Amino acid sequence: MQKKFLEGAKGQSYENQYRFILQTGLRTGELVGLRWDDIDFENRTLTISRTMEFRYKVGEWRVDPPKSKSGYRTIPLTDEAIRILKVQKEKNSKIKVINLEWADQVFLCRKGEPVKNSTYDTALFKICDKVGIKRFSMHVLRHTFATRCIEAGMMPKTLQKILGHSNIGITMNLYVHITEDEKHKEIDLVSDALNVV
């Protein structure tokens, strides 16, 4: 399903953002609030210190601190995440007018403004419909990142830090939908150790 979705997202306005969450596990508000000075290309990290969303009731952007103390974090970047950021930088350089207020934002729309959280979901639904998969929200991309990390052997404690959870239980219960196949693979790995003669 991930592959199908990414094929459908190719060339779409927010392809970079969808791919970036699949590489970093960011929350939508963290992605929206990301600034270029949060990115350290030399050390290949990004730092989360804010979340941002558009408040429709008052018609303005609101910048807040992360959800909890553990929400403040530094995330190592994959080669693919670095590539996406470079592509985005190039894309931003072609925007005709960028309001000074948003000049340091990483992910901007064609109008040179941040993308509203709900706009990401709407565009995502269209991609799902186009490729014939069940609709899902932005948050599922974060879940997918977490599941892929665990499947690839990442320690749950490391994943907890990357996702910014205050409690390991949240990481394990909410984000890791280990498949039946994974359970069999894991039991096969330990089967010899279980045979104590």
Known catalytic residues are 27, 67, 139, 142, 165, 175
65: left (phi over 0), alpha (psi -120 to 50) or beta: beta
How far from each other are the two terminal CA atoms of the chain, in whole angstroms? 44
